[in-house]
Amino acid sequence: MFKIAHLYPKELNLYGDTGNVYYVKYFLNKFGIKSGIYEIGIGDVLDDTYDFIFAGGGPDSLQNKIYQDFLTRKSFLIKHIHRGKPSLFICGSYQLMGKYYLTADKKKIKGLNIFDIVTKSPPDQKHRLVGNSIITLNESVIKPNYNFDTRIIGFQNHNGRTYLNSKVKNIGKSKNLYLGNNDVDYGEGLLFKKTLCSYLHGPLLVKNPQLAYYLLYDYLKNKKKVPMYNFFAEYISHKNILLKNES
Amino acid sequence: MKIILYIISYFFIFIKILKVNLLQWGDGDTFAGYILEKTQIDFLSLFFKSVNSNYIFVTGTNGKTSTVSLINHILKSQNYSVLSNSTGSNLKRGILSAFINNLPKFYSKNPDFCVLEVDEASVPLILKSFPKNKIFSLMVLNLSRDQLDRYGEIDTLVVEINKSLKFFKNYNLILNKGPFFKHFVANPILVKKHILNNNLQNILKIKQYSHLSTNLDFILTLFDILNIKINLSSLSEFSFVAGRGSLYKKNNVSYEIHLTKNPVSFDNNLLYLSGKEYENILIFVNDNIPDGRDVSWFYDINYSYLKKILKNKSVYLAGTRSYDFYNFLNILNIESFNLFNLDNSFDFFKKTGAKKIFVLSNYSATMEIVKCLK
């Protein structure tokens, strides 16, 4: 049984992020692999029996609520990530994977320091980075080995600007300078082994099954499952959104 | 100033007649507001200053249009004059248009009440133009996750509404004791279950789980503040705005339309549906500007309700984002059939001899289907 840990689903669930864990379950089922979704709340046990970790983003008030508990998960997360096990962190949880988050009133909130990144929030809330994003995948880090679009799509809405140390790789380049990790470079998200961090909210993996494929590829290979799957329905939806955002 | 505003109103009414009747370009409802919004002049502030009235602003995620239309009905039935944007155009341009389209009616006498529906994200903008020495009532019916692309996080929205209220000394802020209550400015008027609520629900035939059952307490609290008694007998003549459970017939097929524009309204309509006989459900979802371009909210619908209530039903999909809904249901192992658009849907239901269709549609989809069925 493939175990999917969904961290803080009650607090970090800003906009359809939950769809990602259901898609992992659905995706594996297509290969005949049974999986279970386990909701991990504040104080719940999180051990190395989990195969996939997911955490989303939430409103500031709820992120504050889980903050202390999330910090206690550091050693487990480092082990999981460095072993090359798949995980996905969206928006708020992505920001907390870095060194710190500098709030608009210059308060420094310590992160888990798993990745060499920092996030800073400008004083003016009016300049949130909001909109539909098209990201061209960084082919040096993701090489889709099947016939699928190398662009991913998603929707983002955040105030914090995340800056990656030059050694940290992003997922790809945003079409729009004002969307992505920040408003000074075109990079979006972060990729390390089989861990993806992104600002793209909602059912990211459903909208972009190539990311689910990338995250689960090694697992499928180990299980000697032929990594082939017909993404037709997801593909049509993906194309539809791409066309709308390009027009 | 007032005379200039009247001249502008007459000018736009003339343009509207020309545009709609002669050129047949759209309904022209918000055209005037659209043009005035483009100018550098704060016309909204001028209207607010010139029109002396009891101002009532109604905002919230669900039930604004129905609440405004019920308030208007109660006031009018007691011979009060009302200026309102009752068609549901609740952005700045809709409110501007309401003044333009209605001002000539109030040439000699100000309206007794201005009842304005305001989009949640537009509240700070509207209050910015409102004279700081005038009194108003603001009803915040409820706040839940809606279009993330326009509203951002609800926390941020509450902060912005609070900031704009700080410029006023005299106002009635009417709130329910929900999760965001404590974040609002001090001393709001708290809505409580009103003794007349059940009577009103029965007279108005309000469906179970509807937001309107809670919103009735807001209306009753407002009328207590205004010291106006509600004439219950007048309510039997009230009918809700199209799309709030309205029934239509086409090719011998009945359609019951329910506006379903965010996870909360979807969940409520699913609960309502659970006790009904409907076999066929049409989920009709678009991503036009009034709906929001991002439809990730599907994934915030209660999954267990969906699985339980849609089980053993025939689920059909249509609209510009029907593919996304298809994927969503597919992931939850709920079978559905994509009919893509309304024409296909009407043909399909006619051919299959379906008797009743329960339609869950978001904003622009509701407008589209009601227009076709009327």
Judged by CB atoms closer than 8 Å, whether chains meet at B327 and A15 is answered as no
Average pLDDT over residues B59-70: 91
Q: Does A132 touch chain B (CB under 8 A)?
A: yes
Same domain, B42 and B182: yes
CB pairs under 8 A between A and B: 88
DSSP reduced 3-state for A55: strand
What CATH number did the domain enclosing B324 receive?
Answer: 3.90.190.20
> For residue A244, what is the nearest residue in chain B, using CA coordinates?
B293
Residue of B156, B262, B294 best to disrupt the A interface, most CBs of A under 10 A: B294
- Give contacts of A229 with chain B, Cβ < 8 Å: none
Residue-wise pLDDT tens for chain A (247 aa)? 999 999 999 999 888 899 999 999 999 998 899 999 999 999 999 999 999 999 999 888 888 899 999 999 999 999 999 999 999 999 999 999 999 999 888 889 999 999 999 999 887 766 788 888 999 998 766 665 556 788 999 988 888 999 999 999 999 999 888 899 999 999 999 999 999 999 999 899 999 988 998 999 889 989 887 666 677 788 888 888 888 877 6
- Give contacts of B327 with chain A, Cβ < 8 Å: 206, 233-234, 237
Containing domain of residue B330, as a range?
A: 244-373
Q: What b/e readout covers B148-184, taking b as 16+ CB neighbours within 10 angstroms?
A: bbbbbbbbbbbebbeebbeebeebbbbbbeeebeeeb
Which pLDDT score is estimated for B35?
Answer: 80
Judged by CB atoms closer than 8 Å, whether chains meet at B155 and A60 is answered as yes
DSSP reduced 3-state for A92: helix
Last residue of a domain, one of B210, B237, B264: B237
Region for A174 from its dihedrals, namely left if φ exceeds 0, alpha if ψ lies in -120 to 50, beta otherwise: beta
What ipTM goes with this model? Answer: 0.92
Is A83 one of the annotated binding-site residues? Answer: no
**What is the per-residue pLDDT across B238-273, written as a single tens digit (0 to 9) for each?**
888 777 788 999 999 999 999 998 998 999 999 988
- Give contacts of B324 with chain A, Cβ < 8 Å: 237, 240-241
**What is the per-residue pLDDT across B176-221, written as a single tens digit (0 to 9) for each?**
887 777 777 777 888 888 888 888 888 888 876 677 888 999 999 9
- CB nearest A15 (choices: B156, B296, B326): B296
Same domain, B258 and B318: yes
Judged by CB atoms closer than 8 Å, whether chains meet at B149 and A19 is answered as no
Question: At residue B208, what are phi and psi to the nearest 5 degrees?
Answer: -60, 150
Q: Does A148 touch chain B (CB under 8 A)?
A: no
Residue B24 pLDDT exceeds 60: no
User: Which residues of A are tagged catalytic?
Assistant: 91, 201
Interface of B with A in 230-289 (CB under 8 A): 287
Q: Does B334 touch chain A (CB under 8 A)?
A: no
Q: How confident is the model at residue B3 (pLDDT cuts 50, 70, 90)?
A: confident
Residue B26 pLDDT exceeds 70: no
Q: How confident is the model at residue B223 (pLDDT cuts 50, 70, 90)?
A: very high
Question: At residue B100, what are phi and psi to the nearest 5 degrees?
Answer: -60, -50
Span between the terminal Cα atoms of chain B, in Å:
41
Same domain, B222 and B188: yes
Which pLDDT score is estimated for B20?
Answer: 59
Same domain, B201 and B70: yes
> For residue B330, what is the nearest residue in chain A, using CA coordinates?
A26
CATH of span A2-245 = 3.40.50.880
> For residue A13, what is the nearest residue in chain B, using CA coordinates?
B300
Same domain, B41 and B150: yes
Tokens of B289: 């500007």
- Give contacts of B303 with chain A, Cβ < 8 Å: 22
> For residue B322, what is the nearest residue in chain A, using CA coordinates?
A237
Same domain, B248 and B357: yes
pTM: 0.86
Residue B268 in contact with residue B302, Cβ under 8 Å? no
Judged by CB atoms closer than 8 Å, whether chains meet at B328 and A19 is answered as yes
Q: Does B298 touch chain A (CB under 8 A)?
A: yes
Q: How confident is the model at residue B21 (pLDDT cuts 50, 70, 90)?
A: low
Q: Does A206 touch chain B (CB under 8 A)?
A: yes
Judged by CB atoms closer than 8 Å, whether chains meet at B156 and A125 is answered as yes
Q: Does A235 touch chain B (CB under 8 A)?
A: no
Same domain, B193 and B216: yes
- How far off is chain B from A167, nearest CA to CA, in Å? 32
Pairing between β-strand A87-90 and β-strand A52-55 as defined by DSSP bridges: parallel
Which pLDDT score is estimated for A131?
Answer: 84
Q: Does B293 touch chain A (CB under 8 A)?
A: yes
- Give contacts of A26 with chain B, Cβ < 8 Å: 330-331, 333
Which pLDDT score is estimated for A229?
Answer: 66
Q: How confident is the model at residue B17 (pLDDT cuts 50, 70, 90)?
A: low
Residue B61 pLDDT exceeds 80: yes
Same domain, B73 and B166: yes
- Give contacts of B149 with chain A, Cβ < 8 Å: 130-132, 155, 157
Q: How confident is the model at residue B310 (pLDDT cuts 50, 70, 90)?
A: very high
Amino acid found at B286: N
Q: Does B331 touch chain A (CB under 8 A)?
A: yes
- CB nearest B330 (choices: A16, A17, A233): A233
Q: Does A103 touch chain B (CB under 8 A)?
A: no
Q: What span, in angstroms and rounded, lies between the C-alpha atoms of A208 and A164?
A: 23
Same domain, B156 and B302: no
- How far off is chain A from B1, nearest CA to CA, in Å? 33
Amino acid found at A142: I
- Neighbour-count burial of A149, counting CB atoms closer than 10 A to its CB (0-12 exposed, 13-18 middle, 19+ buried): middle
Last residue of a domain, one of B221, B237, B253: B237
Same domain, B324 and B212: no
Residue of A241, A242, A246, A247 best to disrupt the B interface, most CBs of B under 10 A: A241
> For residue B326, what is the nearest residue in chain A, using CA coordinates?
A233
Q: Does B328 touch chain A (CB under 8 A)?
A: yes
Q: What is the mean pLDDT of chain B?
A: 87
Same domain, B24 and B81: yes
Same domain, B226 and B266: no
What CATH number did the domain enclosing B65 receive?
Answer: 3.40.1190.10
The residues near B40 (Cβ < 8 Å, ≥ 6 apart) are none
Q: Does A57 touch chain B (CB under 8 A)?
A: no
The residues near B52 (Cβ < 8 Å, ≥ 6 apart) are B110
Q: How many domains is chain B partitioned into structurally?
A: 2
- How far off is chain B from A125, nearest CA to CA, in Å? 8
- CB nearest A132 (choices: B294, B326, B332): B294
